[in-house]
Amino acid sequence: MATKKTDTEKHDKTQRETRMRTAIKKAAFELMAEKGLDKVSMREIAEKVHVTKPVLYYYFKNKEDLCASIIEDHEKAFCSQLANVKQYAKGPEDVLYEGLKLHFDFFMKDPIHSKFVIQMISYTLDVSPRMPVERPKNRYIHGMLEQLLQQEAKRGHIPADAIGDVVRLISGVATEIMMSAYLDQHVCPRHSKSALYTPEVIARLVQIVLLGIKEYYKERK
């Protein structure tokens, strides 16, 4: 009985700590997106969660560690969805379209996402010589996309040498989708409808990228 009680207590403690970590990251995410990463203090985050600063430092060693954990959570969730694409993708066009569509949906679903990314970019491009936000070392979105494209290359759907170029081109489109969402949501809402992305625009760009890649590598043979 004592062992069961101990196991239960451990489980309950783990659950409480998980909920607290989630609450801290949610509060920090909202504050950083609104005010900027450099303008949010650990004290403000603690007040929003209704805990003391020592509680925050129990879970995260500093603000940079907290921010990195937030980024890792989002990348992990995105990679998990992207991994599911390989179960139904019929070719590289499906892989790239679904990947960009996930990216598009992420930023269009909630305006806070594009605001947070812009704040993060602004912070890391600060004129001071610091690099406060360390990217997670694992589960890179580029790595996941490369894995999916490598599978398509093995099937003969795209040249193996082209994988790096495809990832770079698609990354450029993904960045523009994020910037477009930010401008549309926070700077000039619906000011220029022609600049907005849609699933149809994404599908067209994917076709253009793949046709260009195939033609380029065909000429190199």
Total-model pTM: 0.82
Domain boundaries, the chain: 1-60, 71-220
Query: Per CATH, is 71-220 categorized as 1.10.357?
Result: yes
Q: How far apart are CA 47 and CA 162, in angstroms?
A: 50
Q: Looking at residue 135, what DSSP letter applies?
A: P
Tens-digit pLDDT profile for the chain (221 aa)?
455 568 788 878 889 999 999 999 999 999 999 999 989 999 999 999 999 999 999 999 999 899 999 999 988 888 888 888 878 888 999 999 999 999 999 999 899 999 999 998 888 876 454 444 444 443 457 888 898 999 999 999 999 999 999 999 999 999 999 999 999 889 887 655 545 789 999 999 999 999 999 999 988 86
Domain 1-60 has CATH 1.10.10.60: yes
CA angle 205, 211, 214 (to 5 degrees): 140
Distance CA 117, CA 115 (A): 6
